[in-house]
Amino acid sequence: MKRLTREEKFMKAAIRAAKRGLRQGEVPIGAVVVYEEKVVASGYNRRAKLQLASAHAEMMAIDRACKKFRSWRLPEGCELYVTLEPCPMCMGASLNARVDKLYFGAYEQKGRSLTEELAAANLLNHKTEVTGGVLKEECSSLLTDFFVEMRKKTKEEKERKKEENTDE
């Protein structure tokens, strides 16, 4: 088996977090914060459960890391790993928390993430170095499998209802 790079190893931890969300019926997106070669916080998307627009995996992981360090400013050298390209809110939170490096897996298909623009804008006088495509296939199949499954369920539900109606 091919040895994983350190980035892939930490992305695997983010994938495990995403799967925790998946088991709870959430869109599977996971994130971890890494400091001194250790995962110090993790999070997964909990939007459905909490019914909060801000309950993204990255926000959960960053909040936990801030609590751990008792500081909104994360220590120098903190990295964030997330299975999907971050949205503008989460990219903003990374900059606010002074994340130094951000690695994401799957690319956002709809091109609405503004990741490059935000990373280069030097907002808050801080730059976060961004690398995309770490374990890209594994991260994106996690999502596509989820949506295929969801569509299948919706279709079955529709057919079930149709059958019920024809019975009458």
Q: What's the angle, vertex CA 126, arms to CA 122 and CA 128, rounded to 5?
A: 90
Asked whether position 61 contacts Zn ion by CB under 5 A, the answer is: no
Q: Is 128 strand, coil or helix?
A: coil
57 contacts 32 by C-beta, under 8 angstroms: no
Site stretch for Zn ion (CB under 5 A), options 53-61, 64-72, 136-144, 155-163: 53-61
Q: In this structure, are strands 30-35 and 79-84 parallel, antiparallel, or unpaired?
A: antiparallel
Site stretch for Zn ion (CB under 5 A), options 7-15, 55-63, 112-120, 139-147: 55-63
Judge whether 58 counts as a catalytic residue.
yes
CB-based contacts of 6: which residues, under 8 Å, 6+ apart? 37
Asked whether position 46 contacts Zn ion by CB under 5 A, the answer is: no
Asked whether position 56 contacts Zn ion by CB under 5 A, the answer is: yes
Asked whether position 90 contacts Zn ion by CB under 5 A, the answer is: yes
Positions touching Zn ion (CB under 5 A) are 56, 87, 89-90
Which residues carry out catalysis?
58
